[in-house]
Amino acid sequence: MTRILITGANKGIGFALAQTLGNQGNSILVGARNADRGQEAVAKLTAQGISAAYLNVDLSNNNTLFTAAETVKSIYPDLGMLINNAGIPGNMQVKAPDTQISDLQSTMQVNFFGNFTLIQALLPVLETNRGRIINITIPTAANPFWNPLAYKTSKAALNTMTTSLAAAFDADKRPLEIFSIHPGPTTTDLNGNAHADGFQTPDQVAQKIAAVLNDGKVHQGEFIETGK
């Protein structure tokens, strides 16, 4: 059994992961910024016989992340895995040249700075437990069809952070593993619950991600596309 903190675990891919991994015998910390929605998710999980608890995690507010890390250290010191799933889309409708600086800043705070702050704050616990860090992300190369600048920029930074930390962990021989997973197109709130050919449900995505987490391999620094 592993204790797993999943951010954005009150809905979408995060909640599906909480169900899937919880039903495999793991204990879940539901990271969510809204206490009511977080507690509602915990209630649903516990009703299914899953060990779950709520943890206030608001990636737009670094103070909540420091507090969450202190709570983990004192109450859940056996934390063995962090799945950074939570994120915001930014303005996906505006063309790149018209992107507002405020949109870039708010999206970067949640999708990059917030994730890094949480990782950094939890490193002492995760290192003690030889832990794993998984970042849910996307490929960020430009294409002719879909180029939301704020969202892609934030994920590009997240991807660079992942590979940089992986290299540092290896160089320093720290017992930590970090890698990225791109689940592919998924119907969630992030895209307005869009449906199109090739889109998956959160439950389908969660099963594929769980398969990677349980494959017994070391994926240090890798970018894994489960949607293929």
Buried b (16+ CB within 10 A) or exposed e, 52-83: bbbbbbbbebbebbebbbeebeeebeebbbbb
Q: How far apart are CA 162 and CA 15, in angstroms?
A: 23
SS3 assignment for the chain:
CCEEEEECCCCHHHHHHHHHHHHCCCEEEEEECCHHHHHHHHHHHHHCCCCEEEEECCCCCHHHHHHHHHHHHHHCCCEEEEEECCCCCCCCCCCHHHCCHHHHHHHHHHHHHHHHHHHHHHHHHHHHCCCEEEEECCCCCCCCCCCCHHHHHHHHHHHHHHHHHHHHHHHCCCCCEEEEEECCCECCHHHCCCCCCCCECHHHHHHHHHHHHCCCCCCCCCEEECCC
pLDDT of residue 197: 64
* 90-140 tens-digit pLDDT: 999 999 999 999 999 999 999 999 999 999 999 999 999 999 999 999 999
From 47, 53, 16, 48, select the one nearest 31 (Cα to Cα): 53
Question: Which residue is it, tokens 């879909």?
Answer: 146
Q: How far apart are CA 136 and CA 152, in angstroms?
A: 13
Q: Which two tokens stand for residue 110?
A: 């949640």
pLDDT of residue 196: 55
In the predicted model, residues of the chain with pLDDT beneath 70 are 185-198, 228
Cα 104–Cα 60–Cα 80 angle in degrees, nearest 5:
115
pLDDT of residue 199: 72
pLDDT of residue 194: 55
pLDDT of residue 190: 60
Is-contact 133 126, C-beta < 8 A? yes
* 121-130 tens-digit pLDDT: 999 999 999 9
pLDDT of residue 38: 98
Q: How far apart are CA 28 and CA 51, in angstroms?
A: 6
pLDDT of residue 200: 85
pLDDT of residue 143: 86
